Amino acid sequence: MAAPSMKERQDCWGARDAYWKCLDEHTEDASQCKKLRSSFESSCPQQWIKYFDKRRDYLKFKEKFEAGQFEPSQTTAKS
């Protein structure tokens, strides 16, 4: 598989950014972002999608942790 061209990378990042913005705006109902998720998946290589999904999860966790809003799970809190 050849590396994506600059245009393909920009399209991927744009689709990712639009999808993430939608998720930020619709935190309670991510189903409203299905079309943007499809666009994101069709614009990016599969490995990039996996990476970006993990990256978003990490960034959201870090944001909560730094704001003092992190709640450890019950099993973690007991040990």
Model confidence at 26, pLDDT cuts 50, 70, 90, reads very high
Burial class (CB in 10 A: 0-12, 13-18, 19+), 25: exposed
Q: Assess if residue 65 is contained within a domain.
A: no
Q: Assess if residue 46 is contained within a domain.
A: yes
Structure-model confidence comparison of residues 75 and 55, the more confident one: 55
User: Which residue range is the domain that position 49 belongs to?
Assistant: 8-56
Q: Assess if residue 31 is contained within a domain.
A: yes
Question: Which residues, 6 or more positions from 8, have their beta carbon under 8 angstroms from its beta carbon?
Answer: 43
Q: Does the pLDDT at position 79 exceed 70?
A: no
Q: Assess if residue 12 is contained within a domain.
A: yes
Q: Assess if residue 74 is contained within a domain.
A: no
Q: Assess if residue 24 is contained within a domain.
A: yes
Give the model confidence (pLDDT) of 36-65 as tens digits.
999 999 999 999 999 999 999 999 999 988
At 78 the pLDDT is 57
Number of structural domains the chain divides into: 1
Q: Assess if residue 43 is contained within a domain.
A: yes
Q: Assess if residue 78 is contained within a domain.
A: no
Q: Model's pTM, two decimal places?
A: 0.80
